[in-house]
Amino acid sequence: MTLSLMFEVAMLVSSVCGVLVAAWLLWRARKQGDLQALAGFAIMMAIWCFGHVVLFQGYERVGVYIILANPLMPTFFLHFAIRFVNSGTAKEPMLDRLCQAVPWFYLTSFTVVLQSWWMEAGDAISTLDTRSFFIFTEAGTWNLAYTVLIGILAHGVLLFGWYRHSGNKKRSILAMFGVGAWGLLLATSFVFPSFGISWFPYPMLLLPTYLLLLVYAVVRYQILSVNAFANRALLWVAMMLVILCVIAVISVVSGRIGLQALANVPSWQLWLYSLLILVVAALIYQPLSRLISRLIYPGASLNEAVLDTWSTQLKDAQDWPQLIAIGERLLSLQIRRSVAIQLKHADLPVQEQNDALAIRVSRLETDWHFVLIGWDDASPGMRLTAEVFASLFSTSCGLLERSLALAAAERKRMDEQHLVELGSLSAAMAHELRNPLNIISMAAYDAPVETRQHIQTQLKRADRLVSDMLVYSGGLNLQIAKTPLCALVSSIVTQAQLDGVVVELEIEQTMELAADPQRLQQVFINLIDNAVSFLRNMPEGKLCIEAKVQDQQTVIQVHNNGPAIDPSLQGEALFQPFVTKRAGGSGLGLAIVRRIVDAHGGRIRHRDDAGWPVTFELIFPQSIHFTNDGIRHE
């Protein structure tokens, strides 16, 4: 193969690559102006390389005119550089002005090209092994100088973008600079004959790589599929280089080991035959791989489309039952057999089923794992499908779990915000109710005695409800102090209207509790009043309050022998606001008690196993952490 033929093939390959790359860019980036400009650069480079092919075929005038259009190449690249660097949210005023001037750059380039044609700025000569090669005449100095100037301006824009940007865009610009250095090295030999240097343009034989590397440097951080293609292409190129080295070794040693017939075959023919075999292998690799996969795993028809469908539909699940239903439907349709999915989760106990084929998915520590049940007699293809699906389903379980956790946290935040707003509204309403209650009280002063007493009774009830609402909706600022527990409870019992109810105290005189005395007094008042309201009409009504220290905690139990609490009210519902069976009660007493106990870092619960029909147990920590001012705030 002569050098001129190699050069012609290289130019033809560059031209074909330019057209293919331009078509691919226009197809993948129809709405991106920067990549459209890059496609224009690829087309112009394809035309420019084809001009050399035309020149070699004897059409010298046409070839020279095509090559003289080279100012359009850097103009398209300048257009691309401006759009690429100025894309995104942050716009640069200087680049905006350059972008507005792009039509003038194109107009100037066309003018330079027309002037070069009119002034015969190019010619063709024979040099070394080539049949014809392009050279610039004296009139072509402006063409060459303008082309270089536009190229410098385009790379200056890229340099500015490298300084201003970060991340993937900065990496792309850096890669383009490296490819630009490679392109400059290849194109340098193009102008040697124009300066009287009689040297064959060997670097231009590698010109097809420049365009491919440039496009790859631009889009590798934008279009991920390009990286997969580049990975395969680099693999095949490496294999071709290995074959070239092996053929060179064979050509040297074959004659010495007695393989004279092989030694007589030209090296380029051996390399060409090997390259042909490699190309054929590349073409049949995918079909052959699918055929072998079907032979090894019969019945398995997994591909990228199936996996994308599985992933998309599993992500649509909003809860665990829906995820199970979607998973069973997808896998059953794929293998044409009924499959059950058993999901082991805290919120969803496993339902044992008698299906022949099942997948059990469970959460172990921090990860989700799966086990295939009943697949021993399944075909290898079906088992492979099940394993792939189960792995994807396990991943979907983790995604759904995190999604539900985030949704629950958001609901809790909204509920807390709603409670804060409701508390503020309740406090405002309670304050506003005080005024009309006072007016009613004063207006009833001249009413008959019986009527006035009835009004005063209802006013006291309303005032108690308002007070409870203010306590429940307001903030709790605790003034913590060592409080004598027995003395506090005794004073409350002395002042209470017991109506014949017997009260027993089993509290040591020396026992003290770190608590807010006023809030603690409110706790016992509410509990005692609540118990007395049920005991006052009972014979032998009895109330017992005992306290003891247990496991470094103060445990207080308030017992009474009144009627047992309805099972429907036991548990958390008992301490919810406005939940009561007490006649005339506000439903806030136990809710306020729990709020005060919680503010002290303690807890309250109802018990029916302490030997009394009703027992409320309060547990306080013996030590409370104080703030710098000696006050513990809720």
| 227 within a domain of the structure (yes/no) | no
What are the Cα distances from residue 75, in Å, to 11, 222, 542?
A: 21, 23, 101
| 520 within a domain of the structure (yes/no) | yes
**Residues 292 and 265 placed together within one structural domain of the fold:** yes
How much is the pLDDT for 90?
A: 59
**Residues 176 and 254 placed together within one structural domain of the fold:** no
Of the candidates 281, 282, 280, 277, the one whose C-alpha atom is nearest the C-alpha of residue 232 is 282
In tens, the pLDDT along 360-413 reads 888 877 788 888 888 877 777 788 888 888 888 888 888 888 888 888 888 878
**Residues 149 and 29 placed together within one structural domain of the fold:** yes
pLDDT along the chain (634 residues), means of 10: 71 83 74 73 86 82 88 88 75 81 91 90 70 78 87 86 78 78 73 67 72 68 51 66 71 69 68 74 74 61 77 87 89 85 65 68 82 80 84 88 86 72 68 75 78 77 69 72 91 85 90 89 88 84 91 90 81 72 63 86 88 91 52 42
How much is the pLDDT for 627?
A: 40
State the Cα–Cα distance between residues 577 and 586, nearest whole angstrom: 9
**Residues 80 and 101 placed together within one structural domain of the fold:** yes
Residue 306, Cβ neighbours under 10 Å: how many? Answer: 15
What are 401's strand-pairing partners? none
Residue 41 sits in which domain range? 3-222
The CATH number of the domain holding residue 209 is 1.20.1070.10
**Residues 486 and 594 placed together within one structural domain of the fold:** yes
**Residues 378 and 508 placed together within one structural domain of the fold:** no
**Residues 308 and 290 placed together within one structural domain of the fold:** no
Angle at 46 between CA 74 and CA 16, to 5 degrees: 150
| 170 within a domain of the structure (yes/no) | yes
State the Cα–Cα distance between residues 591 and 588, nearest whole angstrom: 5
What are 367's strand-pairing partners? 364
How much is the pLDDT for 196?
A: 66
How much is the pLDDT for 106?
A: 92
Q: List helix spans (H) across 444-553.
A: 449-473, 485-495, 517-535
**Residues 399 and 497 placed together within one structural domain of the fold:** no
How much is the pLDDT for 367?
A: 83
Confidence (pTM): 0.44
| 416 within a domain of the structure (yes/no) | no
How much is the pLDDT for 488?
A: 92
State the Cα–Cα distance between residues 315 and 395, nearest whole angstrom: 10
Q: Hey, is 268 helix, strand or coil?
A: helix
How much is the pLDDT for 626?
A: 41
How much is the pLDDT for 104?
A: 93
State the Cα–Cα distance between residues 155 and 74, nearest whole angstrom: 10
**Residues 603 and 543 placed together within one structural domain of the fold:** yes
| 77 within a domain of the structure (yes/no) | yes
Choose the final residue of a domain: 368, 385, 407: 407
**Residues 117 and 260 placed together within one structural domain of the fold:** no
How much is the pLDDT for 281?
A: 75
Choose the final residue of a domain: 190, 222, 254: 222
**Residues 19 and 74 placed together within one structural domain of the fold:** yes
Q: In this structure, what token pair is assigned to residue 201?
A: 């343009």
| 442 within a domain of the structure (yes/no) | no
As for how many domains the chain has, the answer is: 4
**Residues 515 and 542 placed together within one structural domain of the fold:** yes
What own/partner pairs with CB < 8 Å and gap ≥ 24 does 182-185 have? 182/209, 182/210, 182/213, 183/210, 183/214
Q: What are the DSSP calls for 288-327, one per residue?
A: HHHHHHHHHSTT----HHHHHHHHHHHHT--SHHHHHHHH
Q: At what angle do helices 33-56 and 72-85 cross, to 10 degrees?
A: 160
